[in-house]
């Protein structure tokens, strides 16, 4: 009996999904409807606020943080949380809260910048591959397959080794960051390219694309005016999943000592600093760990919410 009710509700959901006819006003109301669905998802909305909060902290770090990220207080080493230092101090007497706040700046910057760059590369590569098709497509996808055959972290390390020896910049802070940024961007586009290619190939067969072609539109203008608007939803969803992934990989790289170098602060660098003194001072490792955990959780929930709201085809899939 309960099974019957379940499938009934399922079919009702299906009806409301496919049954609502596309409104003549076009895409605007589709987005509005998606936004309405998104607002009803409490977890996703809460996550959005959390992500905005972290972004705010990241942007205004110098004004929010009580101390600088590398300011050492040699008389207050490895202190427990107190009113003076809310999260205590580390082995060099640096304020943990300040380092966490500056860490948010680095981690978020790396995550967002690399996700956007990978998105641009991935979209361009995927659309060319999917649009042109044929031999070009198979060669381009073979290249993607080869990149896919190297574990991500291995590829990241390799790319970083190569870029680090090239010495693009002499400024230490820029140099520390460019290696990671380039590595994550070079590595991250591969998945995106695959998905975009699939989407483009699907949309390519649609009647409206054929109509545009019949009217003599140029390929680029069809891509820009008809294909991209229709695959924008999945691309945005992918972007929200790529950001936390890149934040995680940055922290992995920094944790194993091949990413950002101290005294710069990112959550991975802090975790690396903390685990050496785990037995006596566990808060050093727990604090950045919790920060990464909450941020990634929020991004994932946000992405899930966006996908459920704007991409009903994928609803319920993980």
Partner 1 sequence: MAVVVLSFFALPIPVFLLWLVGILGGLSFIHYTFSQNLFVYVMKRLAEALFVIWVIASLTFFLLRVIPGGPFDTEKALPPEVIANIAAKYNLDAPLHHQYADYMLGLLKGDLGESYKFLGRNVSQIVAESLPVSLQLGTYSLLLAFLIGIPAGLFAASRHNTWADNAAMIFAIVGLALPSFLIAPILIIIFAFKLNWFEVALWLGPEYYVLPVIVLGTGPAAIIARLTRSSVLEVIRSDYIRTAKAKGLSHQVILYKHVLKNSLIPVLTFSGPLVAGVLSGAFVVEQIFAIPGMGRHMVQSVTNRDYPLILGTTLVFSIMLVLANLLVDILYAYFDPRIKLS
Which residues contribute to the site for partner 1 (CB under 8 A)? 3, 6-7, 10, 145-146, 148-154, 157-158, 161-162, 165-166, 244, 248-249, 251-252, 255-258, 271, 274-275, 278-279, 282, 285-286, 288-290, 292-293, 296-297, 300-301, 316-318
SS3 content of the chain, % helix, strand, coil (to 5): 75, 0, 25
CA–CA gap between residue 209 and residue 49 (Å, rounded): 38
Give whichever of 165 and 170 is closer to partner 1, judged by the CB atom: 165
Give, in degrees to the nearest 5, the angle at Cα 154 between 150 and 157: 135
Nearer to partner 1, 217 or 300 (CB): 300
CB nearer to partner 1: give 124 or 256: 256
**Residue 9 DSSP class:** H
Say which residues have a Cβ less than 8 Å from residue 63's Cβ, sequence separation at least 6: none
Least Å from the CB of residue 164 to partner 1? 9
CB of 106 to partner 1, least distance (A): 16
CB of 187 to partner 1, least distance (A): 11
From residue 252, give the alpha-carbon distance in Å to each of 131, 135, 158, 176, 283: 36, 37, 14, 15, 19
**Judged by CB, which is closer to partner 1: 100, or 285?**
285
Query: Whole-number minimum distance, CB 87 to partner 1, in Å?
Result: 15
Rounded least distance, CB 308 to partner 1, Å: 12
Q: Which is nearer to partner 1, 109 or 294 (CB)?
A: 294
Give the shortest CB-85-to-partner 1 separation in angstroms: 20
Closest to 114 (Cα-Cα) out of 175, 191, 189, 61 = 189
Length of the chain counted residue by residue: 318
Cα(143)–Cα(311) distance, integer angstroms: 29
Which is closer to partner 1, CB of 28 or CB of 135?
Answer: 135
């Amino acid at each position: 009996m309960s099974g019957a009710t379940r499938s009934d509700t399922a079919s009702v959901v299906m009806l409301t999904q496919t049954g609502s006819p596309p409104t003549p006003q076009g895409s605007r109301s589709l987005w509005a409807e998606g936004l309405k669905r998104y607002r009803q998802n409490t977890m996703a909305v809460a996550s959005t606020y959390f992500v905005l909060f972290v972004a705010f902290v990241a942007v205004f770090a110098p004004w929010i943080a009580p101390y600088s990220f590398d300011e050492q207080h040699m008389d207050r080493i490895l202190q427990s949380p107190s009113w003076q230092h809310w999260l205590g101090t580390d082995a060099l007497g640096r304020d943990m809260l300040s380092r966490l706040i500056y860490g948010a700046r680095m981690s978020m910057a790396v995550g967002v910048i690399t996700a956007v760059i990978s998105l641009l590369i991935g979209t361009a590569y995927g659309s060319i591959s999917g649009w042109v098709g044929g031999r070009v497509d198979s060669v381009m996808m073979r290249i993607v397959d080869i990149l896919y055959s190297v574990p991500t972290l291995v590829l990241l390390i390799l790319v970083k080794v190569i870029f680090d020896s090239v010495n693009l910049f002499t400024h230490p802070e820029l140099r520390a960051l460019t290696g990671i940024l380039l590595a994550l961007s070079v590595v991250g586009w591969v998945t995106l390219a695959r998905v975009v290619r699939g989407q483009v190939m699907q949309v390519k067969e649609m009647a409206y694309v054929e109509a545009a072609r019949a009217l003599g539109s140029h390929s680029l203008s069809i891509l820009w005016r008809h294909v991209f608007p229709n695959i924008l939803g999945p691309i945005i969803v992918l972007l929200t999943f790529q950001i936390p992934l890149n934040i995680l990989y940055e922290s992995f790289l920094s944790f194993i000592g091949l990413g950002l170098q101290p005294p710069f602060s990112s959550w991975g660098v802090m975790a690396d600093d903390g685990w050496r003194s785990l037995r006596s001072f566990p808060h050093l490792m727990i604090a950045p760990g919790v920060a990464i955990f909450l941020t990634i959780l929020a991004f994932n929930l946000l992405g899930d919410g966006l996908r459920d709201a704007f991409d009903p085809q994928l609803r319920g899939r993980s």
